[in-house]
Amino acid sequence: MDGLKLLNEVSVLTLWMAILLGLVQGVAEFLPISSSGHLTLLQHFFGMEEVDNLYNILLHFATLIAVCIAYRRDIAEMIMEFFRGVAALFSRRGAREPGRPPEARRLVMMVIVGTLPLFVVLPIEGLVEGLGNHPAVVALMLLVTGCILFLSDRLARGTKNARTATVKDALLVGVAQGIATIPGLSRSGTTISAGMMLGFDRKFAVRYSFLLSLPAVLGATLLQVVQAIGDESIDLSMLPKYLVGMVVAGVVGYFAIQLVKLLADKGKFGKFAYYCWVVGAVALVASFVIS
């Protein structure tokens, strides 16, 4: 009887852990507070076991779905314009088509250009991920994230949008995304702030940042899927807990996107800076006190 009770307690704890990780992923993936930084600090200071590869894949897939739902109209138009653009390249009429391309087609081009810097990071991916093994580095990056967010609110409102932003702008935001692969640096916070610094309209800075995340998250997810299949260590008994965590991550992630859009437009994006500074400072001190 006692053994059965203990087994049930472990099962409940495991389920709650799945929910907690889904909550952290959904909130921190989109709010500018760094999901990788929070998961690293939770694992180090609270003895949380490292998330298994399959669950990590599913959580990222859930947040990917949240972005697709939040920006479903943009994504549908971009897919259509992508194929129209390809068709135009192979047609004489398309080659002579006057004027600027449609907004959705320009967004496709900007997302492609903005994704290119990630290919520079790929050869040193292991080195970058290894920085997450050092809580002091993660804490410092959270402090840097706070500084970036604090400055973003003090920038003048930009006017650039999908029709007026340049290829150079897209590339520079992509470079910011590549730098933000360092654990503790917020991807959304860094790319949105970079867009604002380049003169993007605040709504467009948020919109472009989340659309830019799609190929990055999808590519990383596919790579992890290949690795998980190669490991051949999938435990189907854990599937119900995985699904619960995915639902939590997806739902929370969707509302986190809406919150970021609202706060960035109102010029209150930098409010997250204080949170990053507090967590970063506490974690930095703890990293030296706790061996």
pLDDT by 10s per residue, the chain, length 291: 333 333 333 334 477 888 888 888 888 888 888 887 887 787 777 766 556 667 777 888 899 999 999 999 999 999 998 888 888 777 765 555 556 778 899 999 999 999 999 999 888 888 888 888 888 999 999 999 999 999 988 887 889 999 999 999 999 999 999 999 998 999 999 999 999 999 999 999 999 999 999 998 888 777 777 766 665 556 666 778 888 989 999 999 999 999 988 888 887 878 889 999 999 999 999 888 875
Boundaries of every domain in the chain: 2-289
Q: At what angle do helices 187-197 and 135-152 cross, to 10 degrees?
A: 30
- Token pair in block for residue 119: 């290919």
The confidence score (pLDDT) of residue 191 equals 95
């400072």: which residue's tokens? 281
The whole-angstrom separation of Cα 163 and Cα 161 is 5
pTM: 0.85
Decide: 211 and 71 in contact? Cβ < 8 Å: yes
The confidence score (pLDDT) of residue 128 equals 85
The confidence score (pLDDT) of residue 51 equals 61
- Token pair in block for residue 274: 């204080």
Burial 9-32 (b: 16+ CB within 10 A, else e): eeeeeeeeebbebbbbbbbbbbbb
DSSP string, 221-252: HHHHHHHHHHHT---GGGHHHHHHHHHHHHHH
The confidence score (pLDDT) of residue 99 equals 62
Chain centroid, CA 124 distance in Å: 19
Burial label for 47, CB within 10 Å (0-12, 13-18, 19+), is exposed
- Token pair in block for residue 159: 């006017």
The whole-angstrom separation of Cα 215 and Cα 115 is 7
Which of these, 240, 245, 288, lies nearest to 140 by C-alpha position? 288
Half-sphere exposure for 264 (CA within 13 Å, toward CB): 32
Which of these, 189, 218, 249, 212, lies nearest to 51 by C-alpha position? 249
The whole-angstrom separation of Cα 43 and Cα 38 is 9
